[in-house]
Each structure stands twice: as structure tokens, then as C-alpha cells.
Amino acid sequence: MVLKFIDREFELEELEKRYKESRTHLILIYGRRRIGKTELVKQFIRDKKSFYFLARKEPMELEISRLIKSFNRKFNVFIEAESLEEFFAELKKFGKIVVVIDEFPYWIEEDKSIPSLFQYIWDEILKDSEVMLILLGSSISTMESLLSYKNPLYGRRTAQIKLSPLSFFHLREAFPKYSWEDLVKVYGVIDGIPAYLQYFDDSLMVEENIERNFYNKVSVLYEDAERLLKDELREPVTYLNILKAINDGKTKLTEIANETKVAVTNLPKYLKVLETLDLIYKEFPVTVRERKRFGIYRVKDFYYKFWLRFVYPYKDDIEIGAITFSDLQEDFNKYLGEVFERVCREFLIRINGKKLPFKFTKIGRWWDKEQEIDIVAINSLTGNSAFFEVKWRTLNYRETIKILKELIEKSERVNVKGKKFYGIIGKGIKEKEKLKERGFLVFDLSDFEWVLREPGSRER
Ligand SMILES: Nc1ncnc2c1ncn2[C@@H]1O[C@H](COP(=O)(O)OP(=O)(O)OP(=O)(O)O)[C@@H](O)[C@H]1O
């Protein structure tokens, strides 16, 4: 349903800034499939002299000939070139122009010497030109390897952009008819993955959208999670099992190995691949400085989390129409607690320095062997810290005080040196003013509107 372009202001500004300079640029843009790389570039080149080319996994000879034909057609010219070097030498004569090569990693897969060739093109042919060359890719590992110092293109790029999903607050722009509560549910199902916004319609109940898109064997969202793994990986089933194990709470190496029957010695290789696909990440307690030990694996986006928990285990039933989303409502409500935690983190980042008694420099979950705190925000310089409990329900005054007292006790275990503040964020909180008078930081969904009213509170 969503057809308008949302956010990406920061990325577009950065691209525009570079475009305005009279020099040559080499820019890498990468990120997970469906994240909106192509769309971002399309928005950028809309009003500019530009040439967009989508690479394929074909022999380079064919690719070069397709590239030149396509260029000639677009500009109604007749460039006769037999190699990329010749093509770029001709291109230089076109003055200021943006050239985009989408899925650039396909070319590297075809021909390992492509990065060296582009190094030569950059150093010898494009220098002193006004060509802005943008390389796009969804293979995060290949794109990141271009940034490594061992790569011929290292040091030549003038910018790199790793695209992230849209933030929770941008969902409001996509679905203006939905309440904040509805948006938390939407976020828990499709995250901020731009390609998935179009499948939700805010004139329907969220639950109805979920039903249509996930509990129907012909719909895209029902199968995209598996499709992406099949497209990218040679052993999709093993990867799927690993993702499922992590999503079910098996977060340590030995636990994942036991669950998936993958040898513990082989597992790091698979985990690394899932990390480079941006599907999992390692989480550390916020107070840990040395990011080696204590980490646990987690599935990164809510689309996969939702799919692994509410769709994948029920595939057989869905295939024959024997289950509906309403059968899983209770568990979904529990799941939303976890979603709301991340939403609250995004909320705190947006109000940082504005609605909090100090400005934090890092934020995250904290845990040790016995206890866990939903959100701890710390200023690394002063050691000032704020501890938050997050609750996906409406709380009255007594309940809130009880939770805050427990939070104060738990916080004794956290090693921070500055002033401590305590807070709670709930779906709804009664008698907020009375709690604030007692020095607590108290927020609920009704405070979220403030973020939209406040200009410049964009999350970065
Ligand atoms: N910022 C945005 N706001 C709204 N819709 C968007 C945005 N970015 C992308 N989309 C939509 O999401 C879909 C996927 O975007 P796009 O093709 O750019 O992603 P991609 O990262 O290039 O994907 P892939 O790697 O899977 O080819 C498109 O339908 C596009 O219109």
C-alpha cells in the first residue's frame, strides 16, 4: 500500500553534498536484501544526468557488451568500446554524470580481477573527471571486503553507506491511520524493512494484515524469509536451523550446536555468514568494554523473528489452511514485550539530551548470571546512568512503584560510578505526574507523539 518514499534524508544529503563537488567520486552503498538500496539511488539520480546498470551473474564479456548497448540506447550515442577501460574513457567525455552499477558483487564473483580493474579505471582514467561512480551490493561480505585495506579499491572510495532498516518512528509516516500500539505490532512483524511496507494496509486491522500476508501460502511475506536464504546460501536448511535455534533462545555456541547438530567447531563459520548477511548479531551487556566474552547471539530483524516463531513452525498447517493468526494471539502478545523493548530504546535515543536529566553515550540491555535489566543508558564520561524497566501493559501506581523498587535493587549489581536515575516505560502508566514528582523517569505511548513534533529528533 505504501508508495511514498520514506526517510533516507541523511543518506540523500550526503550524496548531494558530494555531487555538488567538482571532482570524481567512488561511493559504495550496501545492505541486506530488500533494504532499499536501489530505491535510494533512484531517488538521488532522478533529476541528474545518470546511467543505472543492473549487473547479472553472466560472463564479463557479455556484461560489458550489454552495458555499452544500454548506455548507447539511453543517451542515443554510439560508443564503440570493447572493455570497461575503453567505456569509462569515453564516459569521461560526458562531463558531470552519475554512474550506478547495482549488484556489483555479481561481477566480482564472475571475475576476481574486477576490483583491480576498477582501481586502474579510478586511478588512470577517471581522475580529473566529474564522474560519480556508485557501486551497490547486497552481499555485505563482498562489499565490506572492498573496504578492507587489502583490497585494491581500499582508500579510493569517497563515501560508504551501509543502509539500515527504517526506524520505528518512520512507520508513522507509512501508516498514518495506525495508533502507536498498532505500530508496535507492525514493527514486530515487518521491522522497518522498506520492501515489506507495501504489503500492509492501515485501513485494515493489523491482525488482518498479518493473517493475509503470513497465513496464506501464496503471499510474499510467507515465503520471503526462506527465499532470501535459498538465494544467498548453498545450505539454506542448515542456516534456517541455526536461525531457529537462536530465535528459540539458544544463544551460546554449545547450545546452538546441540540443537542443530552442527559440530561446534564448524558453527562459527555459519554464524559469521549469518552475521555478514545482517541476519544475526552478537549482543553484549551494555557495561562490557572488552567485546569478546559474554556475548550472546540474537536474530537481528523482527521480520525474521516473527517468521521463525509464528510462521515457520506452522508451515504444514498453513499450507492446508488449518491455522489462523488468531490461534497464536496470546503468544504474539508476549512477543510484543520484546518488540516494545527495542521501540523504547529508539524512543530514548530520540529524546536523549532533551527529555532526560543527562545525555547518554551508550544504551543497551544489561544482564549477569542472575538478573537482567531491560534498558541501561550510560554516559561513559561521567558514569551517570539511567535504568529502565519496559512493560507492554498498562500499570497502576502501586504496580509501578513495586517494579521500580525491584529495579533499584537490581541496579546495585551494575558497576557504574556516577549519579543513578530510575525509570519505567509502559504501554500506559497511570498517575505519571505523581511518579515524576518522586524523581522517576516515566513514559508511556502517549509520550511518543512528542518525538514527531520535535524537529531534529531523528535517530542516528
Ligand atoms: N525509503 C523507502 N520508502 C518507501 N519504500 C521504499 C523505500 N526504500 C525502498 N522502498 C521500496 O522497497 C522495495 C525494495 O527496494 P529496493 O529494490 O530498493 O531494495 P534493494 O535493497 O535494492 O533490494 P534487493 O537487494 O532485494 O534487490 C521497493 O518496492 C521500493 O519501492
| 366 in the same domain as 325 | no
Determine the distance separating the centroid of ligand 1 and the alpha carbon of 33, expressed in angstroms.
9
Banded model confidence at residue 1, pLDDT cuts 50, 70, 90 = low
| 200 in the same domain as 152 | no
Overall average pLDDT of the 320-330 stretch: 92
Q: With 70 as the cut, is the pLDDT of residue 6 above it?
A: yes
Report pLDDT digits (tens) over 103-142. Answer: 999 999 999 999 999 999 998 999 889 999 999 998 877 8
The x, y and z cell numbers of residue 347, run together, are 524512543
| 213 in the same domain as 101 | no
Say if 105 falls within a structural domain. Answer: yes
Cβ–ligand 1 distance for 33 under 6 Å, the answer yes
Q: Other CB atoms closer than 10 Å to residue 61's CB: what's the count?
A: 12
pLDDT, residue 9, reads: 94
| 332 in the same domain as 365 | no
The residue among 282 and 455 whose pLDDT is bigger is 282
Count the domains in the chain: 3
Cβ–ligand 1 distance for 37 under 6 Å, the answer yes
- Select from 34, 142, 230 the residue to mutate for testing ligand 1; criterion: most ligand atoms less than 8 Å from CB: 34
Residue range(s) defining the domain that contains residue 297? 168-336
Q: Other CB atoms closer than 10 Å to residue 82's CB: what's the count?
A: 11
Overall average pLDDT of the 353-374 stretch: 94
Which atom of ligand 1 is the closest one to the Cα of 136? Answer: 22
Overall average pLDDT of the 314-326 stretch: 93
Contact 425, 395 (CB under 8 A): no
Banded model confidence at residue 459, pLDDT cuts 50, 70, 90 = very low
Cβ–ligand 1 distance for 35 under 6 Å, the answer yes
Cβ–ligand 1 distance for 173 under 6 Å, the answer no
Say if 400 falls within a structural domain. Answer: yes
Banded model confidence at residue 359, pLDDT cuts 50, 70, 90 = very high
Which atom of ligand 1 is the closest one to the Cα of 103? Answer: 25
Nearest CA to ligand 1 atom 11: 195
Determine the distance separating the centroid of ligand 1 and the alpha carbon of 7, expressed in angstroms.
12
Determine the distance separating the centroid of ligand 1 and the alpha carbon of 459, expressed in angstroms.
20
Q: Which residues of 263-280 are buried (b: 16+ CB within 10 A; e: fewer)?
A: eeeebeebbebbbbbbbb
Cβ–ligand 1 distance for 52 under 6 Å, the answer no
The residue ranges of DSSP E strands in 323-371, in sequence order, are 362-367
> Among 182-196, 266-280, 354-368, whose mean pLDDT is lowest?
266-280
| 84 in the same domain as 34 | yes
Task: Return d(Cα 424, Cα 408) in angstroms, integer.
Answer: 11
pTM of the entire predicted model: 0.92
Determine the distance separating the centroid of ligand 1 and the alpha carbon of 37, expressed in angstroms.
6
The DSSP 8-state label assigned to residue 424 in this structure reads E
Q: Residue 77 sits in a domain of what CATH number?
A: 3.40.50.300
pLDDT, residue 402, reads: 97
Domain boundary residue among 162, 196, 211?
162
| 135 in the same domain as 213 | no
Cβ–ligand 1 distance for 38 under 6 Å, the answer yes
Cβ–ligand 1 distance for 352 under 6 Å, the answer no
Q: Residue 269 sits in a domain of what CATH number?
A: 1.10.10.10
pLDDT, residue 237, reads: 94
Which atom of ligand 1 is the closest one to the Cα of 196? Answer: 12
Report pLDDT digits (tens) over 407-447. Answer: 999 999 998 989 999 999 999 999 999 999 999 999 999 99
Cβ–ligand 1 distance for 34 under 6 Å, the answer yes
Say if 458 falls within a structural domain. Answer: no
Report pLDDT digits (tens) over 438-455. Answer: 999 999 999 999 888 775
Determine the distance separating the centroid of ligand 1 and the alpha carbon of 195, expressed in angstroms.
5
Report pLDDT digits (tens) over 294-310. Answer: 789 999 999 999 999 99
Average model confidence (pLDDT) for the chain?
A: 92
The residues near 396 (Cβ < 8 Å, ≥ 6 apart) are: 430, 431
Overall average pLDDT of the 86-107 stretch: 94
Domain boundary residue among 320, 336, 352?
336
The residue among 252 and 406 whose pLDDT is bigger is 406
| 202 in the same domain as 269 | yes
| 153 in the same domain as 132 | yes
Report pLDDT digits (tens) over 11-57. Answer: 999 999 999 998 899 999 999 889 999 999 999 999 999 999 999 99
Q: Residue 389 sits in a domain of what CATH number?
A: 3.40.1350
pLDDT, residue 458, reads: 47
Cβ–ligand 1 distance for 423 under 6 Å, the answer no
Cβ–ligand 1 distance for 204 under 6 Å, the answer no
Which atom of ligand 1 is the closest one to the Cα of 163? Answer: 21
pLDDT, residue 139, reads: 80
| 146 in the same domain as 179 | no
Task: Return d(Cα 223, Cα 79) in angstroms, integer.
Answer: 43
Say if 65 falls within a structural domain. Answer: yes
Task: Return d(Cα 460, Cα 202) in angstroms, integer.
Answer: 27
pLDDT, residue 456, reads: 56
Domain boundary residue among 114, 135, 162?
162
The residues near 83 (Cβ < 8 Å, ≥ 6 apart) are: 64
Say if 49 falls within a structural domain. Answer: yes
Cβ–ligand 1 distance for 6 under 6 Å, the answer yes
Determine the distance separating the centroid of ligand 1 and the alpha carbon of 8, expressed in angstroms.
11
Percent of the chain with pLDDT over 70: 97
Say if 20 falls within a structural domain. Answer: yes
| 355 in the same domain as 328 | no
| 127 in the same domain as 152 | yes
Say if 382 falls within a structural domain. Answer: yes
Say if 176 falls within a structural domain. Answer: yes
Nearest CA to ligand 1 atom 16: 36
Q: With 70 as the cut, is the pLDDT of residue 460 above it?
A: no
| 331 in the same domain as 228 | yes
Overall average pLDDT of the 166-175 stretch: 95
